[in-house]
Amino acid sequence: MLIHMERTGKNGFTLIEMLVVIAISAILLAIGVPSMKSFLERNAVSGQVNTLLGTVALARSEAIKRNGPVTVCRSENAETSDTPSCAGSGSNDWKIGWMTFLDRDGNGAFDPTQGDVLISVQGAFGDSNSGGIKKNATNTLRFRNTGLLSSSSTTFTFQSASKTPSRQQCVTISATGRARLIASGKSGCEVNTP
């Protein structure tokens, strides 16, 4: 007479299995987290570069379309004020935001009573993955009615929060008003710590 015993399976994990899974997860996290930080920083810088390129193209085309000078300037209150103003010359960081306006009298100051028209605003970049946006000269860009810059070429330097040179990008705007992106370390975008 054979007695058949049924095996009842136990559901669940043993302590050793759970510790192995936790150890493997910890190793994968240790490998993945630095890569994620790098990815987020590169994306923050790329987003800001693309925003500035869009602003430059808009300002240039509006100057031609409206047959008048268009100014782009740093502005701390562009999003919050009914009559925003250009920021002073105390700092050169464009991360605070900027505004674009038709500058009828060409004085570089936004004054709606003089016929100036606000075209667009860009608020501050609050992203913790961004290190800053520096311009190599004045705090304004002014496009003539022909689409040309009223000054010589200028360069913006974009950096990540970690100031890693390989994540730096530059945008150069030529005297003709055209913008181009330059990778870090290339001529015109030397490694810089703003």
pLDDT tens across 32-88, in order? 777 777 888 888 888 888 999 999 999 999 999 999 999 998 888 878 888 888 887
Q: Look at residue 12 and tell me if it is in a domain.
A: no
Task: Please report, as a single letter, which amino acid is at residue 181.
Answer: L
Burial (0-12, 13-18, 19+ Cβ within 10 Å), 183: exposed
pLDDT, residue 32, reads 73
CA-based torsion, 56, 62, 63, 69: positive or negative:
negative
* Residue 122 in domain: yes
Q: Is residue 26 part of a domain?
A: no
- What H or E segment, with its residue span, contains residue 122? strand 117-122
- For 54, the domain range is 31-182
Residue 194 predicted with pLDDT over 50? no
pLDDT > 90 in the chain, percent: 25
Using the 8-state DSSP alphabet, how is residue 93 labeled?
B
Q: Does residue 24 lie in a domain region?
A: no
Asked, for residue 108, whether it belongs to a domain, the answer is: yes
pTM of the full structure: 0.77
Residue 22 lies in a domain: no
**In a domain? residue 42:** yes
Within 10 Å of residue 49's Cβ, how many Cβ atoms?
A: 18
Question: Please, which residues bridge with residue 183 across strands?
Answer: 169
CATH number of the structural domain spanning residue 93: 3.55.40.10
**Among 10-24, 31-45, 139-153, 169-183, where is mean pLDDT lowest?**
31-45
pLDDT of 192 strictly over 60: no
Give me the number of domains the chain comprises. Answer: 1
Residue 17 lies in a domain: no
Facing residues of 23 across strands?
Answer: none
